[in-house]
Amino acid sequence: MLHDADCLFCKIVQGAIPSEKVYEDEEILAFKDIHPAAPIHLLIIPKKHIPMLELAEPSDVPLLGRMMELAPKLAKEQGCKSGKEGGFKVMVHNGADGGQEVYHLHLHVLGGPRPWKK
């Protein structure tokens, strides 16, 4: 399934719900989280509807790799310092026990000056 009509993130991909985009290409969209848990809080999503990480298929591996490769680039562009003194966190929630609230696979990229420790 490429899109789910009831999915919040699919609606963002289709432009039905606005977002503060920081990156977009044919397969991936990245935007600022509307309820940031850190000074820098981005969401990186595939445009293809993949409900959860555990439901990704072998054919999705290149897409997932590109998402992970994009995370440090976008973190730096948005103001995260690089190296040992800087850094950022990447999180993926999977299922209710994993804290997933929107069932469309997404990476959280969090960074910036602490004390947002979580």
Residues marked as catalytic: 106
> Where are the alpha helices (H) located in 24-109, listed in sequence order?
61-77
> Where are the alpha helices (H) located in 32-77, listed in sequence order?
61-77
DSSP category for residue 54: G
CA-based nearest residue to 73, from 22, 38, 114, 35: 22
Q: Give bridge partners of residue 46 from the DSSP assignment.
A: 28
